[in-house]
Amino acid sequence: MTSHYLEIYRSQKAFYDSGATRSASFRKEQLEKLWQLIKKNEKQFEEALYADLHKHPQEVFITEFGPAYEEIKVQIKNFRKWMKPRRVPTPIFLQPSVSRIYPEPVGNTLIITPWNYPLILTMRPLAGAIAAGNTVLIKQSEYSANTSTLIETLINNEFPSQYIHAIPGIGSEVLPPILEQCHFGRVFFTGSTIVGSKVMEMAAKQLSPVSLELGGKSPCIIDNTANLTLAAKRIVWGKLLNCGQSCVAPDYLLVHEDVKEKLLQLTISEIEKNYGKDVQHNPDYGRIIHEGRYRKLLSYLSEGKIVYGGNTNDEDRFIAPTIMEDLAPGANLMKEEIFGPILPVFTYKNNGEVLSKIAENPYPLSVYVFSNDRKMQDLILQQVPFGGGCINETIYHLANHHMPFSGVGTSGMGGHLGKHSFDLFTHYKGVVKKANLPEPFFRFPPFTDQKAKLWRRIVDRKWF
């Protein structure tokens, strides 16, 4: 089976080398085809996502269809402008010359996607790769079996395999030979830090550049100046979206001790307002993706004091929204990304304690600050390295295609969305075009003090 995928890779390489993917008309046609592929099959996607994650159709539109359509629309609207060569200034010592940057596709690409948002986390990078003029191999997670199989079927029926092809199978079996034997102009991976490091190690054997969207412990800080009612509303929404299975979900709360009890009351009230007291039978509430994740989350529940929730159902892989305090020393709950509807709460007295707590799990993918104190906001922005985030909001930074979505350090590298996606799948080729005029005598050997002085005079010109 692996030899079959290697053959597809070779066919994609030949297709790219033919120049077929480069024209603007071809790119536009494929992006429109991708849009229609989603549009025509919305009902099937809703059914598959419900089967995998118990997602309500409205949540599917908010978190899957809407962002995918937006990304494709942005690429269609702008890629012609982005793909044009751009003239840039030329230093005086290179005159008379003209300098230009030529955007060029990176070639053959590989997109590896996770199970938690299987549609959007496939379609957004795929749109960027198409707009930039590349071929694409896609490997989706086997855990979101219904949605992944649907996407594989639709992609492979709609696009020729020498251009775009989705690979079925177990990732740990299929990916190693492909990564280790094939060079890609870009490997785009979204998933856990542990798997991401393995992908990067395998890709290094072919010197394939890698973009990693990973995870981490994303803190949510609430100080004593925050609008607590709004904070509770937005924290609950961000935490329980997709049943907590979001890489950018608020992972734990750091609450100023003066407002902790009030915030917890408002948070519990908001949970019950959204999902009622019988959360298990609420159609708006999701489920844990598979048994392994469910068992991992169950193990966390014994690591501290449950102050709200904690109800579970093994047959349904249901875990109620749960708030925890007084975690045991060394609890795994605070060493690993939770990826579920469990919310640990810590209090602090001063800002130094906030920075110390975040430093226990450095380089979070996201940080959220609920505060009306500009100094507090600036402290977090300036002192904490993180991928991206929000002030007085959660998760919404992912919705702005004008900003790159990226991790930093152990939470990832290589931002994407909008122009940043196009850039990620593009090589910018710099070219100097020199005029056919006589050369300055001091350029060439034999070197002399007089020539050196002339070079210094040119280079040392004051720029202010």
First-residue to last-residue Cα distance in the chain: 63
Q: Which pair of tokens denotes residue 27?
A: 């790119």
Q: Which of 182, 220, 243, 247 is catalytic?
A: 247
- Could you give the CA distance from residue 23 to residue 34 in angstroms, rounded to a whole number? 17
SS3 content of the chain, % helix, strand, coil (to 5): 45, 20, 35
Q: Quick one: which of 16, 123, 133, 32 has its CA closest to 79? A: 133
Q: Quick one: which of 19, 217, 360 has its CA closest to 27? A: 19
Name every residue whose Cβ is closer than 8 Å to that of residue 295 and which is 6 or more positions away in sequence: none
- Beta-strand runs (E) in 156-251: 164-167, 186-190, 210-213, 219-222
State how beta strands 366-370 and 219-222 pair.
Answer: parallel
Burial class (CB in 10 A: 0-12, 13-18, 19+), 437: exposed
Q: Which pair of tokens denotes residue 84?
A: 């044009």
CB 217 within 8 A of CB 332: no
Q: Which of 59, 64, 213, 303 is catalytic?
A: 213
Looking at residue 218, the DSSP 8-state letter turns out to be -
Q: Is 272 a catalytic residue?
A: no
CB 76 within 8 A of CB 401: no
Q: Which pair of tokens denotes residue 217?
A: 């412990």
Annotated active-site positions, please? Answer: 213, 247
